[in-house]
């Protein structure tokens, strides 16, 4: 203690503090702060918001509520829901009292309120556009089942043991484009690829890969590197282990951070599809490679999804099977140029991870049919309610035009039918009689119009003379 107080007294006696003495004094009292070093990326970085992804999640929040209401309506008899039962049933899906009616009226392109022709009470049903969107998404989901099977195979190949819990895959089935009955339509449909079994220890169902296919071990980032190499002509040594970095707007990049990123990009790592059980992972170099391998694993996991995004909670389900770090959020914030974490959509309780390189101006660069079908619902949600009234008026106007155009066609059909039953002579006689009748009616109308015109002219002339 005497040595410490004497040393601290000598420090305070000096007029100017040296860098070493200041750092020693702060370390003793715990006032240290992690600084950017040239040898590693800083562990703790502030999250910089990107409003493009946050706005995307605001629309996603509305879509989730709309989907809950759609499932509620489709589960009813005749796919209609009486307004009198709306609040009672809406509480089951998380809506408050008197909130469901106002919510339905916000989206007239998805929900339609009408009066029952017999019971004379109000009902709610899906609009024709919403039904077409559901059918489009269903067809796209069925059409890409072979691709979904390939994605599931690659997902199993990234695990340590070649198996995953069935429940974990079921929770994330929507992100990977798997149907609700994927256990039968995908797993049991391809017995040459997958096998279901029950674990005796945990009594949980697992999906196991039957045989590995080395052709599927090519990562998405490797294809992107090859594209960058061919198009931009970057040196092979600089791009061999690099990732595509796009920092969010307003992200501050210092001198030491640039050096750390340059070194990290050139750091080699093991592929997510490679078995690392035989390597010695105790050295510092091996730990660095495993950290970069975790980045590549999450990158490949996002690349396998339909919309190139997935919630952080879904990734956590595969953490043990894929050797991912414990603090996933802090780990992903360390690489904000590759991933973006959005907290919008569920009052900050839900964290959605985006793959930055797959998006441009809020849309996927390479969209697929299932993504386009899901975004069709977002278009119906974002369309103004005023346009719904205009659409109804246009539909009524088109129906009236169609009825006017179909009038002579229907009369011609009736004439053809009468000709078949009565013969051609009777039809000609009827036509002559109709012609005579129309001429008589026309002459009578013309005479009445002429009499009215003469009376009007006489009245006008009398008023002028007076």
What tens digit of pLDDT does each residue of 263-306 get? 999 999 999 999 888 888 888 999 999 999 999 999 999 999 99
Q: Check whether 429 has a pLDDT greater than 60.
A: no
Fold type of domain 144-209: Arc Repressor Mutant, subunit A (1.10.10)
Q: pLDDT band for position 6 (50/70/90)? A: low
Pick from 273, 286, 336, 346: nearest CA to 311: 346
Q: Which residues contact 106 (CB under 8 A, 6 or more apart)?
A: 385
The full DSSP string for 269-321 is ---TTS--TTS---SHHHHHHHHHHHHHHHHHHHHTSSSSEEEHHHHHHTTTT
What's 40-98 look like in SS3? Answer: CCCCCCCCCCCHHHHHHHHHHHHHHHHHHHHHHHHCCHHHCEEHHHHHHHHHHHCCCCC
Average pLDDT for residues 108-129, to the nearest whole number?
A: 90
Q: Which helix (H) or strand (E) holds 443?
A: helix 424-465
Go through 349-375 and write b for each residue having 16 or more CB atoms within 10 A of its CB, e for each that does not.
Answer: ebbbbbbbbbbeeeebeeeeebbebbb
pLDDT over 70 percentage in the chain: 73
Contacts of 136 (CB under 8 A, 6+ apart): 373, 376
**pLDDT of the residue at 209:** 93
Contact 414, 423 (CB under 8 A): no
Residue 333 or 394, more confident: 333
Q: Which range, of 45-54, 101-110, 304-313, 456-465, averages the lowest pLDDT?
A: 456-465
Q: How confident is the model at residue 171 (pLDDT cuts 50, 70, 90)?
A: very high
Res 176 pLDDT > 80: yes
Q: Where are the beta strands (DSSP E) in 116-169?
A: 122-126, 163-165
At residue 172 the predicted structure's pLDDT band, cuts being 50, 70 and 90, is: very high
CA-angle at 150, arms to 149 and 151, nearest 5°: 90
Q: List pLDDT tens digits, range 130-162.
A: 999 999 999 999 999 999 999 999 999 999 999
Picking from 53, 56, 33, 60, the residue whose alpha carbon sits closest to that of residue 45 is 33
Global pTM reads 0.74
Which of these, 316, 312, 307, lies nearest to 351 by C-alpha position?
Answer: 312
- Comparing 158 with 414, which gets the higher pLDDT? 158
Mean pLDDT, rounded, of the chain: 79
pLDDT tens digits, 61-90: 999 999 999 999 999 888 999 998 888 888
Residue, of 225 and 2, whose pLDDT is higher: 225
Percent of the chain with pLDDT over 90: 47
User: Token digits for 8?
Assistant: 């601290």
Give buried/exposed letters for 42-56 (b at 16+ CB in 10 A, else e). Answer: eeebeeeebebbeeb
State mean pLDDT over 370-398.
Answer: 74
Which residue from 216, 62, 230 is spatially nearest to 150, judged by alpha carbons? 216
- Helices (H), ranges, 80-123: 86-90, 100-106
Q: What's the confidence (pLDDT) of residue 44?
A: 75
Q: pLDDT at position 228, please?
A: 83
Task: Provide the pLDDT for residue 445.
Answer: 39
Number of Cβ within 10 Å of residue 456's Cβ equals: 10
pLDDT at 448: 44
Q: Return the SS3 of 40.
A: coil
Domain ranges in the chain?
34-143+218-363, 144-209
Which pLDDT value is given to residue 200? 74
Taking the CA atoms of 449, 455, 458 and 460 in sequence, report the sign of the dihedral they define: negative
CB 170 within 8 A of CB 315: no
Q: CA-CA distance, 84 to 152, in Å (whole number)?
A: 44
Look at 11-15, 37-41, 222-226 and tell me which has the smallest mean pLDDT.
11-15
Over 90: is that where the pLDDT of 190 sits?
Answer: yes
Residue 465, pLDDT score: 42
| Cα 219 to Cα 355: distance, rounded to the nearest angstrom | 14
Q: What is the pLDDT of residue 388?
A: 59
pLDDT band at 215 (very low <50, low <70, confident <90, very high): very high
Residue 380: pLDDT over 50? yes
Average pLDDT on 363-387 reads: 89
């Amino acid at each position: 203690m005497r040595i410490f107080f004497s040393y601290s007294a000598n420090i305070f006696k000096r007029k100017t503090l040296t860098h070493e003495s200041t750092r020693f004094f702060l370390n003793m009292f715990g006032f240290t702060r992690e600084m950017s070093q040239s040898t590693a990326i800083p562990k703790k970085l502030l999250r910089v918001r990107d409003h493009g992804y946050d706005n995307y999640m605001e629309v996603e929040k509305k879509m989730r509520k709309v989907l809950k209401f759609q499932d509620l309506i489709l589960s009813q008899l005749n796919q209609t829901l009486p307004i009198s039962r709306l609040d009672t049933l809406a509480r089951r899906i998380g809506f408050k009292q008197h909130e469901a009616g106002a919510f339905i009226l916000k989206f007239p392109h998805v929900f339609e309120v009408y009066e029952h022709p017999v019971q004379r009470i109000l009902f709610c049903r899906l609009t024709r556009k919403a039904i077409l969107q559901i059918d489009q998404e269903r067809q796209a989901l069925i059409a890409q089942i072979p691709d979904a099977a390939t994605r599931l195979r690659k997902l199993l190949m990234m695990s340590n043991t070649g198996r995953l819990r069935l429940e974990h895959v079921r929770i994330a089935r929507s992100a990977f484009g798997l149907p609700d009955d994927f256990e039968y339509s995908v797993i049991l449909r391809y017995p040459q690829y997958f096998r279901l079994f029950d674990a005796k220890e945990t009594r949980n169902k697992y999906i196991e890969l039957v045989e590995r296919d080395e052709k599927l071990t090519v990562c998405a980032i490797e294809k992107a590197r090859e594209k960058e190499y061919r198009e931009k002509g970057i040196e092979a040594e600089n791009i061999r282990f690099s990732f595509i970095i796009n920092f969010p707007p307003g992200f501050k990049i210092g001198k030491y951070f640039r050096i750390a990123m340059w070194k990290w990009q050139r750091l080699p790592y093991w592929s997510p599809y490679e078995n690392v059980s035989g390597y010695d992972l105790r050295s510092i170099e091996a730990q660095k490679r495993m950290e970069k391998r975790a980045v590549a694993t999450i990158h490949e996991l996002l690349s396998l999804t339909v919309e190139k995004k997935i919630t952080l909670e879904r990734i956590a389900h595969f953490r043990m099977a894929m050797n991912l770090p414990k603090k996933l959020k802090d780990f992903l914030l360390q690489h904000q140029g590759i991933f973006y974490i959005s907290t919008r959509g569920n009052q900050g309780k839900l964290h959605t991870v985006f793959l930055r390189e797959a998006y441009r101006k809020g849309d996927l660069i390479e969209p697929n049919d299932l993504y386009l079908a899901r975004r069709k619902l977002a278009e119906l949600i974002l369309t103004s309610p005023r346009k719904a009234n205009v659409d109804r008026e246009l539909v009524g106007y088109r129906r009236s035009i169609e009825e006017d155009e179909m009038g002579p066609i229907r009369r011609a059909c009736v004439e053809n039918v009468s000709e078949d039953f009565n013969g051609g002579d009777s039809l000609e006689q009827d036509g002559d009689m109709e012609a005579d009748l129309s001429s008589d009616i026309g002459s009578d109308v013309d005479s009445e119009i002429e009499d009215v015109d003469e009376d009007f002219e006489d009245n006008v002339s009398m008023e002028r003379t007076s």
